[in-house]
Structure 1
Amino acid sequence: MTALSVSVNTGHPTSPRLLRWLVRLHRPALWSWLGIVVVLSGALLWLGGPLTDASAAAWRQFNACGMGTCHYDQDSITRYKDAYNYLTYAVLVVPFAVAAWAGGSLVGREMESGTAQLAWTQGVSPTRWLATKLAAPAVLVAAGTGLLALLHHWAWSAGEGRIDTTKPWSSFETFYANGPVPVALALTGLAGGALIGLIARRSLAALVGGLCFTAFAWSATQLAMPHLWPTATSVTSLRHNGPSGAGITLSSGLLTSGGDRIADPYCGSDLSLQCKDLYTSLDAVSFYKDYHPESHFWPLQLMASGVLLVLAALLTLAVFRLLKHRTAS
């Protein structure tokens, strides 16, 4: 690995000067980010306000119809459902956009064009350059993504119990968009994109690399999240059609008289003679389910966010160490 030869000017620009330089250099990205946050925030306020009220009124009309001819505002129900789905996925996509920008523009393009090396000859040390490059965007990213997640949770809560088709808290999209995980993932994507940009030194390669890394971190979070907090176990009589307990399910099946766990043949209640004979042959006495109830929402969110923030800190440390190694003369 070849070190970058840099002759650093002995001047020491002030932090405001560095920030002004950063804003001028990335002004299009700054305005784009502010535009995204403002537009999505306005759309989420519309979703949780007028759209929710209209959809809830339409559901009241529908539920009051009984068995007769029903006249209700179906368009309001469909409009709410579509807007909720689109806005939820938009909130989840934000961390990927941050990672792509961090890799492709924030670091990768400057390394490729020589802008970074030029800054280092104008009295800006590589370490100070990188600290400014990461700190200011991190504040804006955390504030913007946090606002979107907060508004999404508010909009979802406004429809809970009022709209019959409201997504449950445990659904994949709703769960992740309703808490701080997108904020932690965006900061991880920022640090990961910066690291890949420094390694690749090419804007396009860093952009793709930042997206791939964030997708990997996102997938790993989904796999690890259910195991970051102890599960609750529900034991249900065979008189029911299956195990009870709403939430995020990890495993379920049958319990034998000896306490062993076996697979559920999905026969149903033992009120059916066929199912009763099957359970008797299996020595099954009840259903069981290991799951996370709604009370585990915040513990899971905080644990997953904590893991991502630790990863972001490690990536940031790696970026500084790599930059120091590459600029050592």
Structure 2
Amino acid sequence: MSSPALRGGGLPRTVLRLHRSALLAWAVFVAGASGWLVWLAEVTGKDPNTRDLPCVGDCDTLHLLMGYPTQLSWAGDLIGYGFVAVAGFAGGSLIGRELEYGTAQLAWTQGITPVRWLTAKLALPALAVTAGGTILVLVFRWVSASPPDPSLQFDWTWDTAFMARGPLLVAYALCALAVGVLTGLLLRRALAALGAAAGAMWLLNAVLTSYRFRLWPAVTRTGPHAFDIPDNVALVNEGGDGDSRFATYQPPSHYWPLHLTETAIVLTVAALAVLLSFRLLKHRTEPSA
């Protein structure tokens, strides 16, 4: 006889109860990072003693650590690369631990099919990741759109600023969730899946970052003599000799085409990981003919 707690709407509640600590930690992270960004924009950035660019020469460590640029860089990195933690959680705690200790197999004997189990495991964290990531993107865009000084304007080519100003941030988090689930199903060991998922997402991000500015047709400029390359562009290639020169670069106007192209690639990887996860689960749980 199946357990009443696992029938009907009980499965989502069970998943929520099992992983409430992780969901609470995610909520605290989103609230803390958002609050930090708001504080930087409204307090630190408006204080002339802390909003200046990092000093050179005689400068104490405290000035560097408390300055607006340094703290904003830290906050951006924390937000931008939070997907690594999502991957580790999905592989280690969400899936790997339950397969390692047999709690998933126990659920399957209580009237819950493996497909329903995996669907619930993916759906609730995906909702949390999407909601939290969207909040972080909106707050980051608000902060980056109104720097306290024009000299502190974000460079759009900076990795974190490129990711955190649009849906790419959410796409990486969803992909991390999907890749973590897949590694958990493959390895069925919490620690191994945690490390593999985090490593796989780090590698994916490193590869896409290295090719980021080649994902959209770039502007090519040539001339018979040396010329100045426009400011605030992502230089892809340049060269020439004494008689001619060329430069290929991405201007700021190409931000959204580049951003959305990478977003589509990351979401495609996520969809493939989800598809493979369901196929793998079905293969391992269906009885042999």
Q: TM-score, normalised by structure 2?
A: 0.88
Which amino acid in the other structure matches residue 52 of structure 1?
G
Task: Please tell me whether residue 227 in structure 1 is matched to residue 214 in structure 2.
Answer: yes
Q: What is the alpha-carbon distance in structure 1 between the residues aligned to residue 84 and residue 159 of structure 2?
A: 17
Q: Is the 8 A contact 1:236 1:244 kept in 2?
A: no
- 2:55 is matched with none
**Counterpart pick for 1:253 among 212, 231, 239:** 239
Q: Is the 8 A contact 1:235 1:288 kept in 2?
A: yes
Q: Matched residue of 1:122: which SS?
A: coil
Structure 1, 33-42 or 179-188: larger mean CA deviation: 179-188
Q: What is the alpha-carbon distance in structure 1 between the residues aligned to residue 48 and residue 262 of structure 2?
A: 33
Q: Is the 8 A contact 1:103 1:196 kept in 2?
A: yes
Q: What is the alpha-carbon distance in structure 1 between the residues aligned to residue 100 and residue 37 of structure 2?
A: 38
Matches within 5 A, 1:1-329: 13-14=7-8, 16-55=9-48, 79-159=67-147, 162-235=149-222, 238=225, 240=227, 242-244=228-230, 246-254=232-240, 279=242, 284-285=243-244, 287-329=245-287
Q: Is the 8 A contact 2:30 2:136 kept in 1?
A: yes
Larger C-alpha radius of gyration, 1 or 2?
1
Q: Is the 8 A contact 1:234 1:245 kept in 2?
A: no
Deviation at residue 9 of structure 1 after TM alignment: 5.1
Cα deviations by residue, 1:56-113 (Å, 9 ceiling, x for unpaired): 9966xxxxxxxxxxxxxx9599520121011011012210010000000000000011
CA pair 25-245 structure 1, distance change in 2 beyond 3 A: same
Structure 1, 34-43 or 144-153: larger mean CA deviation: 144-153
Which amino acid in the other structure matches residue 27 of structure 2?
L
Q: Is the 8 A contact 2:99 2:105 kept in 1?
A: yes
Q: Is the 8 A contact 1:41 1:151 kept in 2?
A: yes
Cα deviations by residue, 1:130-179 (Å, 9 ceiling, x for unpaired): 0010011111111112221221122122117x242444112233222322
Which amino acid in the other structure matches residue 180 of structure 1?
P
Runs of 5+ unmatched residues, structure 1: 1-7, 60-73, 255-261, 263-278
Q: Is the 8 A contact 1:52 1:158 kept in 2?
A: no
Q: What is the alpha-carbon distance in structure 2 between the residues aligned to residue 327 and residue 142 of structure 1?
A: 30
Q: What is the alpha-carbon distance in structure 2 between the residues aligned to residue 18 and residue 109 of structure 1?
A: 18
CA pair 43-328 structure 1, distance change in 2 beyond 3 A: same
Deviation at residue 120 of structure 1 after TM alignment: 0.7
Deviation at residue 197 of structure 1 after TM alignment: 0.4
- Equivalent residue pairs, number: 279
Deviation at residue 244 of structure 1 after TM alignment: 3.6
**RMSD of aligned residue pairs (Cα, Å):** 2.6
Deviation at residue 54 of structure 1 after TM alignment: 2.5
Q: What is the alpha-carbon distance in structure 2 between the residues aligned to residue 306 and residue 209 of structure 1?
A: 23
Runs of 5+ unmatched residues, structure 2: 53-61
Which amino acid in the other structure matches residue 91 of structure 2?
G
Which amino acid in the other structure matches residue 93 of structure 2?
S
Deviation at residue 235 of structure 1 after TM alignment: 3.6
CA pair 124-87 structure 1, distance change in 2 beyond 3 A: same
Which amino acid in the other structure matches residue 198 of structure 2?
L
Deviation at residue 216 of structure 1 after TM alignment: 1.5
Cα deviations by residue, 1:180-237 (Å, 9 ceiling, x for unpaired): 2221111111111101101111100010011111111111221332222111123456
State percent identity of aligned pairs: 36
Q: Is the 8 A contact 1:91 1:177 kept in 2?
A: yes
Structure 1, 204-213 or 244-253: larger mean CA deviation: 244-253
Q: Is the 8 A contact 1:108 1:198 kept in 2?
A: yes
Q: What is the alpha-carbon distance in structure 1 between the residues aligned to residue 267 and residue 254 of structure 2?
A: 20
Q: What is the alpha-carbon distance in structure 1 between the residues aligned to residue 51 and residue 175 of structure 2?
A: 42
